[in-house]
């Protein structure tokens, strides 16, 4: 897809707000629903559909209504978001012509306010010409579904981190300026790809320099994995600069020796064909098992002392954290489990404990009503006993019985007092029995003041008569 920066001039703040909303929705949606875009963008006067229509016109988003009505970002829309961020940071102010096209990226010229020309690399994983990323690159391991925009972002972060680390250790690499999303801005190398060079004044010196870079990278714990004539720049003074670092791996990788030997073989093969350098003696020395590997001119992976440094373990700076590195590396090693097992280890135990606590609390809630019912029964008994002139406590009952016995023994002749007490007891028992009448039906409130209430009154009067 061609990058037309002229469209960027006519996009408003609402357009970029909706683009950012689509990007945020793509974190957990392959196709972001239109309603979700409107809620995330939350424009003041609405109009999200109108903005989406304008973005669709410029091919910044893609509309999909196969399952539901939704949108997703295209690479052009992702480019505009990255370029807008870079311009706001003041990294560059102008975008020029395209100077390079690869199977995984596009390279453009950019310039800042001072007129300094730099290179902007936009990673574009997922092209039709190179979609075997799962087998050719270590961005994915065993995941069945993934997003190309997310992989491009990881590749850009990884390249920026390697470039900064190699620059700090005096390797001939471009100067890393800034990185955002899938965009990496670096210094422009004034040279030519080695594949375009037909003649060299000192091919032997250039060859030794390039082989020395491969060995030096291995001594620092890194292997380029794509070290060929397409990723080597050379200027008029025959100064060598290496580029393209997203696919670099550690010397501890299980296929490190194979990658190292492949890089060496690519350089030997190219210089042998292009500049007619003969390496027959070197190959004979390798085939001869009696020759010491240290005395052979062709470097071998086993003979390299990895004591110069460990750059593969020092990549937690410049925006590329160790977490991002682990996300890329775990895809190949197979350490990532299924997506359903999101939490692990301590998180699972904590969740289990909370579930158990919640389960116990449910049981407690179910047991509490029984105890409350018993308390209500006890309260009812106490009320009945109090109405009957008795207390709910056994001590009070015993004391009342003793007092009654004393009164009966002392006043045996007073029969009238005994009769009155008996009448009071009868009345209290009758009142207690009346308190346990059946409750009215659910629809009794409908008959208030109606025919049913009048009929019940008539029946009571008849029963009295």
Which residue is listed with tokens 């004979």?
284
CA distance 77 to 85: 13
CA distance 415 to 85: 107
Q: Are 230 and 195 in contact (CB under 8 A)?
A: yes
DSSP bridge partners of 249: 223
Q: Are 64 and 49 in contact (CB under 8 A)?
A: no
CA distance 173 to 263: 17
For the record, the structure tokens of 27 come out as 């974190």
Q: Which residues contact 335 (CB under 8 A, 6 or more apart)?
A: 141
For the record, the structure tokens of 418 come out as 């005994």
57 CA to centre of own chain: 31
Grouping H, G, I as helix, E, B as strand and the rest as coil, residue 69 is: coil
The packing angle between helices 75-89 and 148-168, to 10°, is: 40
Catalytic, out of 79, 106, 138, 226: 226
Q: What's the number of CA atoms in the CB half-sphere (13 Å) around residue 276?
A: 3
Radius of gyration for the chain, computed over Cα atoms and rounded to the nearest angstrom: 43
CA distance 24 to 73: 10
Q: Assess whether 226 carries a catalytic annotation.
A: yes
For the record, the structure tokens of 190 come out as 């004034």
Which ranges of 334-449 does DSSP label H, i.e. alpha helix? 346-387, 394-410, 415-434
CB atoms within 10 A of CB 106: 19
DSSP conformational letter for 253: S
Q: Which residues are catalytic?
A: 226
């Amino acid at each position: 897809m061609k990058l037309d920066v002229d469209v960027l001039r006519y996009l408003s703040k609402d357009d970029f707000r909706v683009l950012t909303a689509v990007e945020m929705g793509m974190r957990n949606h392959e196709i972001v629903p239109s309603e979700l875009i409107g809620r995330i963008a939350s424009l003041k006067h609405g109009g999200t559909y109108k903005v989406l229509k304008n973005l669709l016109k410029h091919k910044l988003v893609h509309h999909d209504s196969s399952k539901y009505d939704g949108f997703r970002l295209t690479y052009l829309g992702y480019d505009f978001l990255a370029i807008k961020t870079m311009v706001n940071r003041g990294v560059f102010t102008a975008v020029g012509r395209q100077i390079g096209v690869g199977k995984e990226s596009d390279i453009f010229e950019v310039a800042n306010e001072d007129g300094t020309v730099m290179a902007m690399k936009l990673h574009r994983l997922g092209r039709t010409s190179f979609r075997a990323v799962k087998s050719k690159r270590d961005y994915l391991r065993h995941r069945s579904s993934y997003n190309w925009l997310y992989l491009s972002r990881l590749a850009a972060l990884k390249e920026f981190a390697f470039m900064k680390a190699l620059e700090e250790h005096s390797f001939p690499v471009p100067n890393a300026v800034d990185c955002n999303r899938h965009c990496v801005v670096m210094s422009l190398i004034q040279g030519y790809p080695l594949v375009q060079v037909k003649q060299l004044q000192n091919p032997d010196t250039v060859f030794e320099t390039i082989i020395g870079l491969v060995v030096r990278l291995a001594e620092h714990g890194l292997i380029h994995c794509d070290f060929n004539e397409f990723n080597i720049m050379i200027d008029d003074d025959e100064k060598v600069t290496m580029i393209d670092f997203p696919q670099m791996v550690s010397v501890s990788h299980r296929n490190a020796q194979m990658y190292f030997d492949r890089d060496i073989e690519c350089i030997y093969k190219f210089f042998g064909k292009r500049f007619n350098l003969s390496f027959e003696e070197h190959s004979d020395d390798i085939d001869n098992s009696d020759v010491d590997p240290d005395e052979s001119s062709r470097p071998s992976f086993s003979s390299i002392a990895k004591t110069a440094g460990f750059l593969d373990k020092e990549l937690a700076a410049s925006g590329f954290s160790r977490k991002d590195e682990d996300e890329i590396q775990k895809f190949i090693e197979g350490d990532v489990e299924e997506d359903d097992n999101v939490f692990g280890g301590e998180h699972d135990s904590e969740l289990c404990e909370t579930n158990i606590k919640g389960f116990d609390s449910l049981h407690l809630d179910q047991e509490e009503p029984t105890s409350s019912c018993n308390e209500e029964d006890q309260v009812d008994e106490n009320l009945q006993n109090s109405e009957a002139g008795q207390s709910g406590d056994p001590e009070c009952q015993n004391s009342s019985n003793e007092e009654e016995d004393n009164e009966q023994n002392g006043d045996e002749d007073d029969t009238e007092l005994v009769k009155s007490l008996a009448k009071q007891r009868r009345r209290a028992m009758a009142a207690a029995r009346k308190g346990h009448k059946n409750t009215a039906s659910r629809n009794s409130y409908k008959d208030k003041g109606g025919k049913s209430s009048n009929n019940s009154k008539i029946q009571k009067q008849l029963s009295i008569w």
